[in-house]
Amino acid sequence: MSDGIAKTRDRTVYPDSPIPAVAVVVKRDDEFLMIKRGKEPRKGTWTVPGGSIELGETLKEAAEREVMEESRLKVKALRAFTAIDAIYRDTEGKLEFHYVIIYMEAEYLGGEPAAGDDATEVRWVSSREIKEGFPNAEPGTLRIIREQFGI
């Protein structure tokens, strides 16, 4: 403890309970917003923007905030359409990460994509690339987008 402030551990790693999170599918014409993850779990893979829901925050607020933080784009969150368990174990089999991820659809309102916060890259990906797959994309995310948007 320094200056009367206790340092707390990162509760997302080896958590005491599941962490609620959002994953945000932003569609613009025939493209989807994707980010390259800058942190574990799944560092270096392409997926949709998202992250933990903050205390007192609604799903829509979390979705809009996460997209802004990771891509610098303004969106309007529309609806939740599915939820998944994201459970990762370390090499010893201990529970390292446990998220309950609610997938949200959001409408693109404006801005130019620029990587921020937990993203190292950000770009619009065509429906064709979603259908065919592209290098280092998260397979579960691609499957969810294909199913939800009929690709």
Domains defined for the chain, CATH in brackets: 19-149 (3.90.79.10)
CB 99 within 8 A of CB 54: no
Q: What's the pLDDT score for residue 120?
A: 95
Which residues of the chain carry a pLDDT beneath 50? 1-8
Q: What's the pLDDT score for residue 9?
A: 55
Q: What's the pLDDT score for residue 3?
A: 46
Omega before 113 within 30 of 0, i.e. cis: no
From the candidates 121, 129, 138, 147, give the one annotated as an active-site residue. Answer: 121
List the Cα angle 124/128/130 in 5-degree steps. 65
Catalytic site residue 121? Answer: yes
Q: Which residues contact 112 (CB under 8 A, 6 or more apart)?
A: 72, 73
Q: What is the pTM of this model?
A: 0.88
Q: What's the pLDDT score for residue 2?
A: 44
